[in-house]
């Protein structure tokens, strides 16, 4: 390897609003603080990767608007000299997300304006000129053009992943968490052409129709192996990793099963949860690029996610690789045993 990692999908602006508590319908809450930062798979993963290792060649493939938000995206991501922005097209209005960050329980709720990212499709991805070892695309369910039906491959996303693999590029996907029944229709077509499938427990469960959370929020650990096997049966060729706050779980290319506990963080360490999932993905992608084992990748992903939690926005908390490793070795681990 040596050609780097390309990330395709949406680049958005997160308008973060810290609120006392998320209100019931028709009720009022107080906004305590407002800030602006970047979001979306392309911004989050590429900046995280650039912070982890400033020497890896990184490529952004996306659409942003011809507006002030688009300028903000380019100016901010452009500060990282190893990120190539030449494949970012400007059309229409930029995507943005209003993020409501509940200060009581540290959860967040998203209101997303798709904007120009809804147009993003295969015509914006020139596979012959990407020159990358890994292509990561995010997010399924959030890119209308990529989720569109394709008669041969099922979805446009699946077609892009297939064509990438034909060119010797390893592929990776991520899915957005939403309240819908679209998972079983839109995710499986892409899995046939995916090398690295990295999902949270909600997304993985909805993809195969097996819940991994009980009604009271408890992780249903006994279902995890079955979910991993079903995702394998859908065609993922290398790593399948499910990450959850308690732990991460995975099957490698030889169907070896691994469980890696999350870090037990002090309460005052956690400033917000926006971007933690993409940080985990970034740690895994970095590890795959460097040739580490899947188990090591899960450890790096857990530590990268923990650093992300140390700041309120998506990317400010990320640290260089040596600090990521040091955090995993230093911090206590979650002690509950999962099968």
Predicted confidence band at 116 (pLDDT cuts at 50, 70, 90)? very high
Q: What is the mean pLDDT of the chain?
A: 95
CA distances from 27 to 21, 22, 294, 313 (A): 11, 9, 46, 26
Q: Which residue has the higher pLDDT, 8 or 111?
A: 8
Does the pLDDT value for residue 300 go beyond 70? yes
Q: Give the pTM.
A: 0.92
In the block, tokens 């147009």 appear at 119
Per-residue pLDDT reduced to its tens digit, 35-51: 889 999 999 999 999 99
**Residue 339: pLDDT over 90:** no
Partnered with residue 95 across adjacent β-strands are 12
Largest CA distance in the chain: 54
Pick the residue with more confidence: 167 or 180?
167
153 has pLDDT over 60: yes
What percent of the chain stands above pLDDT 90? Answer: 88
Tell me what pLDDT residue 338 has.
Answer: 61
C-alpha to C-alpha distance for 210 and 219, rounded to whole angstroms: 12
CB 140 within 8 A of CB 175: yes
**What does the alpha-carbon distance between residue 122 and residue 115 come to, in Å, rounded to a whole number?**
17
| Tens-digit pLDDT profile for residues 214-231 | 999 999 999 999 999 999
pLDDT tens per residue, range 238-268 = 999 999 999 999 999 999 999 999 999 998 9
| Confidence (pLDDT) at 35 | 87
In degrees and rounded to multiples of 5, residue 272 shows phi and psi of 180, 165
pLDDT of residue 1: 63
**pLDDT by residue (tens digit) across 58-114?**
999 999 999 999 999 999 999 999 999 999 999 999 999 898 989 998 887 889 899
Q: Is the pLDDT of residue 336 over 80?
A: no
Mean pLDDT computed over 308-336: 93
Give 24 or 179, the one with higher predicted confidence.
Answer: 24
Note the pLDDT of residue 97.
Answer: 86
pLDDT above 70 (res 337): no
Which two three-digit tokens encode residue 313?
A: 């926005």
Distance (Å, whole) CA 240 – CA 228: 7
Task: State residue 169's pLDDT score.
Answer: 98
For 104, other C-beta atoms within 10 Å of its C-beta total 10
CB 338 within 8 A of CB 268: no
């Amino acid at each position: 390897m040596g050609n780097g990692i390309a990330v395709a999908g949406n680049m958005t602006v997160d308008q973060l609003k810290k609120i006392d508590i998320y209100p019931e319908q028709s009720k009022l809450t107080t906004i305590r603080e407002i800030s602006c930062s970047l979001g979306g798979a392309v911004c989050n993963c590429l900046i995280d990767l650039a912070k982890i290792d400033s020497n890896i060649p990184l490529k952004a493939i996306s659409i942003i608007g011809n507006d002030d938000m688009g300028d903000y995206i380019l100016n901010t991501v452009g500060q990282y000299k190893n990120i190539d922005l030449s494949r970012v097209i400007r059309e229409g209005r930029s995507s943005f997300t209003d993020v409501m960050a509940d200060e009581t329980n540290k959860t967040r709720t998203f209101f997303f304006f798709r904007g120009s990212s809804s147009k993003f499709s295969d015509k914006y991805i020139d596979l012959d000129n990407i020159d990358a070892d890994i292509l990561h695309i995010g997010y399924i369910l959030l890119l209308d053009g990529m989720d569109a039906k394709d008669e041969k491959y099922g979805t446009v996303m699946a077609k892009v992943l297939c064509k990438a693999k034909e060119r010797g590029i390893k592929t990776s996907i991520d899915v957005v968490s939403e309240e819908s029944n679209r998972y079983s229709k839109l995710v499986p077509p892409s899995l046939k052409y995916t090398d690295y499938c990295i999902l949270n427990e909600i997304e993985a469960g909805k993809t195969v129709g097996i819940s991994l959370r009980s009604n009271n929020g408890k992780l249903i650990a006994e279902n995890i192996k079955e979910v991993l096997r079903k995702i394998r049966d859908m065609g993922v060729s290398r790593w399948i990793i499910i990450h959850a706050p308690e732990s991460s779980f995975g099957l490698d290319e030889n169907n070896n099963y691994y469980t890696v506990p999350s870090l037990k963080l002090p309460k005052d360490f956690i400033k917000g949860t926006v971007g933690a999932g993409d940080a985990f993905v970034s740690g895994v992608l970095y590890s795959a690029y460097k040739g580490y084992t899947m188990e090591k990748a899960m450890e790096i992903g857990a530590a990268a996610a923990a650093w992300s939690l140390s700041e309120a926005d998506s990317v400010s908390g990320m640290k260089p690789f040596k600090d990521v490793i040091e955090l995993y070795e230093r911090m206590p681990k979650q002690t509950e045993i999962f099968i």
